[in-house]
Chains A and B, each alone.
Chain A
């Protein structure tokens, strides 16, 4: 039997030290980690349980922005009154993710760190080749079942899609990931696969997410998260968009626009080209639809996931236009 040690960390430093040891993994809500351990993907030698650390589950919202502790539960953040009113896209991204049961267990830190749903990644017994799991072993997905794989940010080594919803909204609103003292913009926190798809985050051994900080902006206040999928609930996105708009005083001209895509890329995908094309303009439906096509610049499909290239710009356009309607 595969034994592992279990440590309940009682201080941040103890947790970081323990997590720095080879083979150690942090355990938060466990909804990703236990799942991956069952598939034989995660094989930790020691688990460092951080859920008993105090002071890491707060949700503070004020004029300047929001700071969410890494141990705050997805469900709590989604339901938080100030998050709902000042960062609707964050709340919507969370409540449309996973299931109520999972949201009650899962933490914000763990959420950012969730792994891809690539079925080949998750089945080492049957598919030994996976560059993300075993660098250099090849990619079983290419040429196989690719309906859920990424069309943006892919590399010759890996085409796995980043499946999370929350991070998409965070990328749109320039959130900052706190690793204790070190702070990184969330867009830089997630890495492209390139030749090292095993390295997904700018986080080093012994580091731990302690909080997420989201600047308070007018665009975040008027924001939405639109998630499209075959099943109405409890499914990862076929394509999704986090969008926020700030209008000029005339109430029509776009001063600030934020667009990020989910379900289509190897990391949460900021679509600045769409933002730039529409800033200073009004919300003309045709112009919005045309600009939204810029969201999938450079997209490459692998057969069955071609529909994502059609779908993603439509999701972006709908989200932008819907926000405009509420003006």
Chain B
């Protein structure tokens, strides 16, 4: 019937703004700027009560007693929850869906494994009353020695994670006989997502039905967790999350504070709101794990890599397991005949670390992209040239062809715009008064994570279109690109499309993480819209009441909200008129990207766990997005202060569904990378095992003054092995490689190699 040509999605392809590939501005922008957008905890509910958490002040030990007398007697207090008084929950499956141990789960701790652990909660009529009463809860402890961090003498070597081992050839042997050898250790500290909107929720029970208003990167996954905790059917839990004030990985899972609020609501029979304070967001859930890597590279005198040996370690908590895959970039960025990567995790007394923008790839790239730079100086060739010399023509680990890899193009385009050829090779050879100038380059990559999604597309009586999905928009542009997808597929203006997201009652979606959502959901909406369009055109042709009935046409054209015959010789009516003439008040179609014949169980598993996600090396191809960052820094030679003065990044995210939004996400990633390189670090008091800079005055993220103009260049081409419409990941990619590009530029400027992030002034002074 209708033929849909997939267009190249870059700005250069001339697509009009409303189509896929066009530069449509964020459709949710006006609501957010005017304050009309209502975030999860802003719901006004009858009878709302307020919960405030009480946290442990020791890092290791046991709660001896909790004295709640004064808190209970305080004005307005409705309830004080402790491990002894809170209702018992069931343990929920993890995000892989692994069946959980059959033991009760208590979101308030008796056994303390980190400072800042939730030990009690106070619920009161007002927020202020709850805050005041929470300060009256007196907890006494039996303290035991804690393991502060990776450098703690008691930390040990940790637990080997065999699944992370990647080896081929004889890495040790080839290293031993290599003419050029470098070996260095690279460290990254604890870093925090620090979204503007802190974590929090409102929980309300009606009988055995639970509604949770909570910022969420994964409604169906979180709804499953709540359902399992409270042992109610999945359908009984509704998650609502229309807008999210930033997540960066931290809002994908239901967390213990959510369990506390939902317990309180159930016990009290009233809706309960619980919002973390900013300091609590540093211990209430995990940021990026602190990591250490050793990278050894053996090469010939021309800089051709013979061997890479990589060892990595990341922190995890005493009773949780977080693996930050540190060999993920190391194993694919460069061609090497011999390779070995192994990883351990070390248990320390901290909250279990979590996902933060490009988990794994981000610290991994800091190691390998710094090390290759060191190799370039060692053999005396240009840092860009050495990367091209060792270019991996296929995935060196999976031994499969790349689906697409425009990294060479990225290097070329970035170098050209940056003026790399004018770089003077010697460190400390470029200056402007007291400012030492350095130019650095580094590459980045992120795998294409694929999963499945479903959506409903509804054509309404007035010709407007509704799209529904339980996926979410945390600022990355889901509302906008799904409107574009539906508009283009159906031939209606994007203004006539209303996208509804963030309600688990809508058709389901997997996690918004790993940069997979756009690829998944544009595919689902495209399918749903295509089948809605087929129904519409089918009705127009076959329904006896249709003005097209007599035309004997076998296809019609829908454009701009109107239907006409391809040759323009018949009637020309609006969609609304057609629906009216055939007596329909709407047309509706559900589309999904699941394999046909998928069982309901498989569908449930797909949307509520990550177990069904397709490996990026599935089939014949290895799928990744790629980027190259070219960065100029100015380092004050007396003060050691580093300022980023120029960034040119060329990126391959495949086809861009909306270049304006993609560029904005790339720039956001680069800005976050600048923060990571120069500012961000959770500082631990070693005596107490506690983060002391747990607020936004002391945990520094970049301000506008720290950010120069950033130029981003798209070098991607449609990659149909990666997604239905040809896009690869956007959101995580751009942060990968920024920190090493800056560290490399700092070396070029100063001759000092900083291998511990962040690069603060005392490291250069």
Q: Which of A291-324 contact B (CB under 8 A)?
A: 306-307, 310-311, 314-315, 317-318
Shortest Cβ gap from A315 to chain B (Å): 7
Min C-beta distance of A165 to chain B, whole Å:
15
In the assembled complex, the CB of A114 is this many whole angstroms from the nearest CB of chain B, namely: 12
For A, the interface residue count at a CB cutoff of 8 angstroms equals 31
Choose, from A83-91, A192-200, A228-236, the stretch at the interface. A228-236
B contact patch SS: loop
Residue of A nearest to B277 (CB): A38
| Chain A residue at minimum C-beta to C-beta distance from B698 | A119
Which residues of chain B come closer than 8 Å to A235, judged between CB atoms? Answer: 700
- With A117-B698, A231-B702, A232-B703 as known contacts, state yes or no: A1 contacts B692, CB within 8 Å: no
Q: Say yes or no: A311 contacts B703, CB within 8 Å.
A: no
A205-245 near B? 1/0 per residue, CB < 8 Å:
00000000000000000000000111111110010000000
Given A120-B692, A315-B639, A232 and B687 touching (CB < 8 A)?
no
A2 to B131, CA, bound (A): 9
Q: Are B132 and A307 in contact (CB under 8 A)?
A: no
Chain A min CB distance to B412 (Å): 32
Please tell me if the beta carbons of A314 and B703 are within 8 angstroms of each other in the complex.
no
Quick check: is B76 within 8 A (CB to CB) of the other chain?
yes
User: Which one of B132, B133, B684, B688 has the highest number of Cβ atoms from chain A below 10 Å of its Cβ?
Assistant: B688
Q: Given contacts A117-B698, A145-B683, A229-B641, are A126 and B690 in contact (CB under 8 A)?
A: yes
Q: In the docked arrangement, what's the CA distance between A40 and B684, Å? A: 21
Q: A315 to chain B: which residues have CB within 8 Å?
A: 638-639
Q: Is the CB of B765 within 8 A of A145?
A: no
Output the residue of A40, A117, A127, A231 with the most chain B CB within 10 A. Answer: A231
Partner of B76, one of A1, A232, A233, A314: A1
Cβ contacts under 8 Å, B703 to chain A: 231-234
Q: Which residue of A lies closest to B125 (CB)?
A: A1
Task: Check: B57 CB closer than 8 A to any chain A CB.
Answer: yes
Q: Which residue of A40, A125, A229, A311 contacts B57 across the interface (Cβ within 8 Å)?
A: A125
Residues on A with C-beta less than 8 A from B602 are none
CB A290 to nearest CB in B, in angstroms, measures: 15
Chain A contact residues: helix, strand, loop or mixed = loop
Per a CB cutoff under 8 Å, which of A125, A145, A238, A310 touches B685? A145
Q: Which residues of B contact A279 (CB under 8 A)?
A: none
Write the chain A residue with the least CB distance to B675: A231
Q: Please indicate which of the listed interface residues B76, B697, B702 has the most CB atoms of chain A within 10 Å of its own CB.
A: B697
A232 touches B705 (CB 8 A): yes
- Chain A residues with CB under 8 A of B129: 1
Q: Which residue of B lies closest to A229 (CB)?
A: B641
Q: Known contacts being A2-B132, A233-B706, is A307 close to B765, with CB within 8 Å?
A: yes
Chain B contacts with A in 409-434, Cβ cutoff 8 A: 434
Residues of chain A with a CB closer than 8 A to B686's CB: 144
Which of B683, B687, B697 is in CB contact (< 8 Å) with A143? B687
Q: Provide the bound-state CA to CA distance between A229 and B758, in Å.
A: 14
Q: Does A123 contact B (CB under 8 A)?
A: yes
Instruction: Give the interface centre of A1, A143, A317 by most chain B CB atoms within 10 Å.
Output: A1
Contacts of B699-755 to chain A: CB distance below 8 A: 700, 702-706
Given contacts A117-B697, A145-B692, contact A307 B762 (CB under 8 A): yes
CB–CB A1/B706 < 8 A: no
Q: Is B546 interfacial (CB-CB < 8 Å)?
A: no
**In the complex, how many residue pairs between chain A and chain B have their CB atoms under 8 Å apart?**
86
Within 128-164 of B, Cβ neighbours of A (below 8 Å) are at: 128-129, 131-133, 135
Bound Cα distance A144, B692 (Å) = 10
Bound Cα distance A125, B641 (Å): 34
Known pairs A143-B687, A228-B641; A125 contacts B692 (CB<8 A)? no
Check A147 for interface membership: any CB of B closer than 8 A: yes
Are the CB atoms of B683 and A147 closer together than 8 Å?
yes
- B761: which of A1, A117, A307 is its contact (CB, 8 Å)? A307
Chain B residue numbers with a CB within 8 Å of A317 are 638
Residue pair A318, B698 in contact (C-beta under 8 Å): no
Q: CA A311 – CA B686 in complex, angstroms?
A: 26
Write out the residue numbers on chain B whose beta carbons fall within 8 Å of the beta carbon of A311.
Answer: 639-640, 761-762, 765
A235 vs B702: C-alpha distance when bound (angstroms) = 10
In chain B, what residue has the closest Cβ to A226? B639
Assess whether B705 is in contact with A233, with CB atoms less than 8 Å apart: yes
Determine the chain A residues whose CB is within 8 A of the CB of B233 once the complex forms: none
- Write the nearest CB–CB distance from A170 to chain B, whole angstroms: 23
The A116-152 residues at the B interface (CB cut-off 8 A) are 117, 119-120, 123, 125-127, 143-145, 147
The listed residue with most B CB atoms (<10 A of its CB), out of A123, A230, A232, A317, is A230
Taking CB atoms, residues of chain B closer than 8 Å to A126 are 57, 115, 688, 690
The contact string, 1 if C-beta is below 8 Å from chain B, for chain A 87-123, is 0000000000000000000000000000001011001
- Chain A residues contacting B765 (CB-CB under 8 Å) are 307, 310-311
B638 touches A314 (CB 8 A): yes
Q: Does B679 contact A (CB under 8 A)?
A: yes
Known contacts A117-B698, A232-B703, A232-B706; is-contact A40 B135 (Cβ 8 Å)? yes
Cα A66 to Cα B486 in complex, Å, equals 65
Name the B residues within 8 Å of A314 (CB-CB).
638-639
In the complex, A127→B128 CA distance in Å?
23
Q: Which residues 610-642 of B sit at the A interface, judged by CB distance below 8 A? A: 638-641
Q: How far is the CA of A117 from the CA of B638 in the complex (A)?
A: 25
Pairwise interchain contact B643-A232, C-beta atoms closer than 8 A: yes
Task: Tell me, in angstroms, the Cα distance from A174 to B132 when the chains sit together.
Answer: 44
Decide yes or no: A230 and B683 within 8 Å by CB, A125-B57, A126-B57, A126-B690 being known contacts. no
Mask, A32-70, CB within 8 Å of B = 1, is 000000001000000000000000000000000000000
The reply on B256 being an interface residue by CB < 8 A is: no
Interface pair A144/B687, CB less than 8 Å apart? yes
For A233, list chain B residues within 8 Å (CB): 703-706
The answer to whether the Cβ of B565 comes within 8 Å of any Cβ in the partner chain is no
Chain B residues with CB below 8 A from A228, complex form: 639, 641, 761
What residues of chain B lie closer than 8 Å to A119, measured between beta carbons? 692-693, 698
Complex CA distance for A125 and B132, rounded to whole angstroms:
13
Whole-angstrom distance between the alpha carbons of A120 and B693 in the complex? Answer: 10
The answer for the CA separation of A314 and B640 in the assembled complex, in Å, is 11
In the complex formed, the residue of A with least CB distance to B644 is: A232
Shortest distance between the CB of A36 and any CB in chain B (Å): 12
A119-B698, A125-B135 are contacts. A1–B683 as well, Cβ < 8 Å? no
- Asked whether any CB of chain A lies closer than 8 Å to the CB of B760, the reply is yes
Closest CB-CB distance, A102 to chain B, in whole Å? 10
The docked-state distance in angstroms from the alpha carbon of A255 to that of B134 is 61
> Does B678 make an interface contact (CB < 8 A)?
yes
Q: What are 23 sample pairs from A and B whose C-beta atoms fall under 8 A apart?
A: A1-B129, A1-B131, A1-B132, A40-B135, A119-B693, A123-B692, A126-B115, A127-B688, A147-B683, A230-B700, A230-B758, A231-B679, A232-B643, A233-B703, A233-B705, A233-B706, A235-B700, A307-B761, A307-B762, A311-B639, A311-B761, A311-B762, A318-B639
Known: A126-B57, A314-B639. 14 other contacts (CB 8 A): A117-B697, A125-B57, A125-B135, A127-B688, A144-B687, A145-B693, A228-B761, A229-B641, A230-B678, A233-B706, A234-B705, A314-B638, A315-B638, A318-B638
Residues of B within 8 A of A (CB): 57, 74-76, 115, 126, 128-129, 131-133, 135, 279, 434, 638-641, 643, 678-679, 683-688, 690, 692-693, 697-698, 700, 702-706, 758, 760-762, 765
